[in-house]
Amino acid sequence: MATVKLNVKWGKESFSDIEVDLSQTPLVFKAQLFALTGVPVERQKVLLKGAQLKDDEWGKAVPKDGMTVMLMGSAEAVSVEAPKNAPKFVEDLPEEEQEHMDTKRFGAGLHNLGNTCYMNSTMQCMFAVQPLREALYKRGAAAGGDPTGRLVSATAELFRDLESGGAPFTPYAFLMALRAKFPQFAQKGQNDEYAQQDAEECWTNVMYALKEKVKDDDGNAAVDKLFGIRTHLALKSDESPEEEFAEDGLSYTLKVNIEDKTAHVSEGVAVGLREERERTSAALGRTALFKGATRLTALPPYLTLQMMRFFFRRDNQQKAKILKKIPFSVEFDAYEFCSEELKKELDGPRLAYKEAQDAEMEAKKLAKKGAGPQAEPAAAAPAAASGADVDMKEAAAGASTSAPATTKAMTGKYELVGVVTHKGRTADSGHYVAWVKQPSEGTWVCFDDEKLTIRSQEEVLQLSGGGDWHMAYLLLYRAIYADVPVKAEEAKAEPEEAGAKEAAVMEA
């Protein structure tokens, strides 16, 4: 069936040229109407050709291009917030909320709406990125009323609800907005049930929606700043060595290809960055094979690795899964995959990071010997910290003393803060779960739809595969920074300017 454009009449409002995919069920169209008007699907009465539209089939009401559809129903009412500072007592809370007081500080669970674990786990993991939340809260309300804007607003609202913590809730508004923007997430299987979807596809599609609507003060996309990996691809042909093909790019994930000899995540990344392409050679006057590799030219504050575990099997027409064990670490080093120019930028901070670690180890040794805190080295090395560990007040105080001015710089090293796992044999079935490190406590929490469970780091590292248990599919890492001396020309800058630069680095 073809795609048609319909006009929608809802009370005094009209919407023109709404694209409707007739190969999808009417429920997908109703999700689009929800994204446009805010009228929940269960309240909608859609009249087409004098008949009320069903959810599961078009029947005799298949619309033609240019037709007008009548929508009846009231939009979701805006709730009035209770005073934020009103005192609350545990005994006054509903029993359902009392049950989740122990995990309230970690967030909230999400009810499964029918094979929506891919969505729940993706958003629980993405929620771990505090700067993304802040950007959404700042810009999400002004995202607009188009499907993309509705999805962005729904994401901001979902994050606010998760931040409130407590009892699990149903992410219905977000799901409807996601399906309205990306109809593939409304596909159904043979039993007329919603099909299982790919968590990475959900992650990437949400990223692109946020890229379009959530900008910083300079007009740049927040997700590019937080997750964007700048790359440079260089290819050469053995048949024509003087020719070179080059291409710059931006991506949100590093692929971890899995081969028979792949024994660690880093090896899989190296394989994923190698590339071969057939291109027309001007010198040879014909097609030739060009080989080369991609190098990273700029690193983001948050780095996402995708384990390429799924592949398409032609015999049964399904996406099968590679179960091979691929170990990963709590620390990932991207240095070897960087361009030579970027490596030079990282060398100084990496040295500072190593000196800080060595000084810390030496201090611990002295403490064990009973030397006490006064035995610390006379000249302490610059401290290392993750992106979430920066204390701007401390940095400002340091600038007013005689100590050398420092700034935060990337080391190329990252710490693990989130994992999305998949359990099952195929991509079209199984179960997705999110594992998120809590920055305030350093503990890990497993988000299994509506259920939250505290886990250990050792349990997280066992998610490397090799069987039918949950295995890592997406790995989310956060950059580790080091204190480095400010360059002479930067040190001469006005205090406000220097503070602005520091804030910009840490905001990332």
Phi, psi of 244 (to 5 degrees): -140, 140
Catalytic site positions: 117, 431
Bridge partners of 475, per DSSP, are 305, 419
- Is the pLDDT at 123 greater than 80? The verdict is yes
Q: What is the predicted pLDDT for the residue at 389? A: 46
What is the rounded average pLDDT of the residues 21-31? 82
Terminal-to-terminal C-alpha distance of the chain: 46
- Position 351 pLDDT exceeds 80: yes
Q: Using one digit for the tens of pLDDT, what is the confidence trace for 282-299?
A: 888 888 899 999 999 999
**C-beta separation of 452 from 445 below 8 A:** yes
Please determine, for residue 179, whether its predicted confidence score (pLDDT) is greater than 80: yes
Burial of 118 (0-12, 13-18, 19+ CB in 10 A): buried
Query: What is the per-residue burial (b if ≥16 Cβ within 10 Å, else e) of 452-461?
Result: beebeeeebe
What is the average pLDDT value for the chain, to the nearest integer? Answer: 84
Task: Return the residue matching tokens 């991509």.
Answer: 427
Q: Residue 386's pLDDT band (boundaries 50, 70, 90)? A: low
pLDDT in tens, 410-431: 999 999 999 999 998 877 789 9
Report angle CA 224, 227, 231 to the nearest 5 degrees: 80
Does 500 or 299 have the greater pLDDT score? 299
Q: What angle do CA 227, 152, 475 make, to 5 degrees?
A: 30
Burial (CB count <10 Å: 0-12, 13-18, 19+), residue 348: middle
Question: Residue 281 above 60 pLDDT?
Answer: yes
Residue type, 351: L
Higher pLDDT, 87 or 450: 450
Average pLDDT for residues 164-176, to the nearest whole number?
Answer: 92
Q: Tell me if residue 30 falls in helix, strand or coil.
A: helix
Q: What is the Cα–Cα distance from 68 to 16, expressed in whole angstroms?
A: 9
Q: Residue 395 — pLDDT band, cuts 50, 70, 90?
A: very low
- What whole-number distance in Å separates Cα of residue 307 and Cα of residue 322? 10
Given a contact cutoff of 8 angstroms between Cβ atoms, the answer to whether 266 and 278 are in contact is no
Q: Are 254 and 272 in contact (CB under 8 A)?
A: yes
For the segment 20-45, the average pLDDT, to the nearest whole number, is 83
Higher pLDDT, 268 or 28: 268
Residue 500's pLDDT band (cuts 50, 70, 90): very low
pLDDT at residue 87 greater than cutoff 50: no
| pLDDT tens, residue by residue, 231-267 | 999 999 988 888 888 999 999 999 999 999 999 999 9
Supply the pTM of this predicted model.
Answer: 0.75
Is the pLDDT reported for residue 160 higher than 80? yes
How does pLDDT run across 473-489, given as a tens digit for each residue? 999 999 999 999 887 55
Domains of the chain are 3-72 (3.10.20.90), 96-224 (3.90.70.10), 306-508 (no CATH)
Q: Following DSSP, what letter does each residue of 269-325 receive, concatenated? A: HHHHHEEEEEEEETTTTEEEEEEEEEEEEE--SEEEEEE--EEEETTTTEEEE----
Share of the chain above pLDDT 70, in %: 83
pLDDT at 142: 72
**pLDDT given at position 378:** 41
At 404 the pLDDT is 67
- What is d(CA 236, CA 245) in angstroms, rounded to the nearest whole number? 6
Rounded mean pLDDT of 325-353? 97
How far apart CA 446 and CA 433 sit, in angstroms, is 7
Q: Which residues contact 38 (CB under 8 A, 6 or more apart)?
A: 75, 76
Residue 11 has pLDDT above 90, yes or no: no
